[in-house]
Amino acid sequence: MKRIIIIGASSGIGREIARIYARHGDKIGITGRRNELLHSLKPEFPENISMSCFDATVPDSILHIEDLIKELGGLDLLIYCAGYGEPSKTLDWAIDKTTVDINVNGFLRIVNFAFNYFVEQGRGQLVTISSIASRRGNDYAPAYSAGKAFQSTYFEGLHMKLKKLKLPVYVTDVQPGFVDTKMAKSTKLFWVAPVEKAARQIVDAIEKKKWRVYITRRWAIIAWLLKWIPDSIYFRLR
C-alpha cells in the first residue's frame, strides 16, 4: 500500500489519478482549492481518501502537506497536478501573474519540499504534470508555456541530482498533449485523449518509474518535431 498526495485533485487528471490509486487500495491525500469538489470524491472511497483544501500558492501550503503526511502515516509518492492556463492574447498581467503563481511559485515551493523529504527518507517518487507546451514558446498563452518549461527543466535537474545521489528516489516529468479537460482551450485541438485514458497511461509511467513520458504516447512524435523544427517554420505555424 502506497501513501500518495496529489496536489490539484479536485478535477481533471488529478481526480482520475486519485480514483485509480484508491481502487488499488492505496491511501490518497487529495488537495485543491474547491472544497465541494474534494468532498464529492471522498464518498467514493471513504476508507482510502483524506482531504486538505488549500491553494497551492499560499505560503503555508507546506504545513497542509505535513498534516496530510501525518494523517496518511508517511509519504511514498507526491504528484503535482495543480495548474492554470488561460489565453493571454493581449498579454494580460492578471492572467500571467496567476499562471506563474501556480505553475512556477506554488510548484517550486511544494516540489522543493517533497524532493528534500524523499532524499532524507531515502526513498520516494515525485511527479509533475507539465505539458507538451513546455517544448516551445506560445503566443497564445506565453506564461503557460514558460511555466511548464520551468517545471520540465527543473525536473531534469532533479533527475540529474538523483543520478549522483544514487538513492531509490525517482522523478517523473509527465508531458500531456491535449486531454479532454477544462485546460484544453486551444482552437487547434487534435489527438484529444479522454481523461481516463490519459490518467491510466500516467499511472503506468509512474509505476514504471519513467523519468519523462508523453501522454498519450503518440505525442512523443510532436515533442520530437517541436524540438527540431526550424524557427522560421515554427513561427509561421503559430
pLDDT tens figures, 103-155: 999 999 999 999 999 999 999 999 999 999 999 998 889 999 999 999 999 99
Active-site annotation holder among 144, 154, 170, 214: 144
Q: Indicate whether 187 pLDDT > 90.
A: no
State how far the Cα of 112 lies from the Cα of 127, in Å rounded to an integer. Answer: 12
What are the strands of the beta sheet with 27-32, ordered from one edge?
Answer: 49-53, 27-32, 3-7, 77-80, 124-129, 169-176, 212-215
Q: For residue 234, indicate whether it is catalytic.
A: no
Q: Quick one: pLDDT at residue 235?
A: 86
Whether the CB-CB separation of 203 and 21 falls below 8 Å is answered with yes
CA distance to 1, 80, 104, 183, 214, per residue, from 145 (Å) = 35, 17, 11, 13, 16
Look at residue 188 in the predicted model and tell me its pLDDT: 66
Q: 60, 38 in Cβ contact below 8 A?
A: no
Look up residue 150 and give its three cell numbers. 520551468
Domain residue ranges in the chain? 3-237
d(CA 7, CA 60) in angstroms, rounded, equals: 14
Instruction: Tell me: pLDDT of 94 over 70.
Output: yes
Predicted local confidence at residue 227, as pLDDT:
87
State which amino acid sits at residue 6: I
DSSP for 77-91 reads EEEE--------TT-
**pLDDT of residue 186 exceeding 80:** no
CATH fold for the domain made of 3-237:
Rossmann fold (3.40.50)
Question: What digits encode the pLDDT tens for the residues 195-215?
Answer: 999 999 999 999 999 999 999
Region of 126 (left: φ > 0; alpha: ψ -120 to 50; beta: rest) is beta
pLDDT tens per residue, range 8-21: 998 899 999 999 99
pLDDT digits (tens, 9 = 90+) for 3-52: 999 999 988 999 999 999 999 999 999 999 988 999 899 899 999 999 99
pLDDT grade for 191, boundaries at 50, 70 and 90 = confident
pLDDT at 185 > cutoff 60: no
- Give CB contacts under 8 A, 24+ apart, made by 192-199: 195/12, 195/13, 195/16, 196/16, 198/13, 198/16, 199/13, 199/16, 199/17, 199/19, 199/20
Please provide the average confidence, as pLDDT, over all residues in the chain. 93
Whether 66 shows a pLDDT value over 90: the answer reads yes
Would you tell me how many other CB atoms lie within 10 Å of the CB of residue 53? 16
